[in-house]
């Protein structure tokens, strides 16, 4: 997937991780993301999208979002510098599945309210 963190963009392998309490972005892909002690700075806009040529945003939030929406985002060091992880927060806000016919992951926002 492709990630945009505070205007910095990069595409790379992304794990939709149910077991990690926070998401992370690889420091090798997005090295200049503002951070405090490794955690991405509060209040930054984040979006996750499908790769070009048919890019589509599948998740957008900011680092001030509530725990029910998205847990903290961490700027990783070795050995995970070339990948991303959604953390479990993705599963709080979206329905994540797999389309067997098309052979692809499907992420659908859960209606709010």
Per-residue pLDDT of the chain (113 residues; tens, 9 = 90+): 999 999 999 999 998 887 877 889 999 999 998 888 888 888 888 889 988 888 888 888 877 655 445 567 888 877 889 999 988 777 777 777 788 898 877 777 766 55
What is the C-alpha separation between 43 and 38, in angstroms, rounded? 15
* Bridge partner residues of 94 (DSSP): 109
Phi and psi at 93, nearest 5°, equal -100, -15
Cβ(107)–Cβ(94) under 8 Å?
A: yes
What is the C-alpha separation between 69 and 46, in angstroms, rounded? 13
Predicted TM-score (pTM) of this structure: 0.77
- Which residues are within 8 A (CB) of 104 and not within 5 positions of it... i.e. 6 or more apart? 98
Q: Give 97's DSSP letter.
A: E
């Amino acid at each position: 997937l492709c990630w945009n963190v505070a205007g910095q963009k990069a595409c790379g392998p992304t794990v939709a991780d149910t077991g990690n309490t926070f998401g992370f972005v690889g420091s090798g892909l997005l090295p200049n993301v503002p951070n405090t002690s490794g955690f991405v700075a509060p209040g930054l806009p984040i979006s996750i999208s499908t790769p070009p040529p048919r890019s589509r945003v599948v998740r957008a939030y900011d680092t001030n979002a509530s725990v029910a929406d998205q847990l903290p985002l961490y700027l990783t060091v070795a050995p995970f510098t070339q990948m991303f992880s959604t953390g479990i927060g993705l599963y709080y806000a979206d329905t994540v599945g797999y389309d067997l016919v098309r052979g692809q992951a499907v992420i659908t926002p859960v209606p709010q309210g």
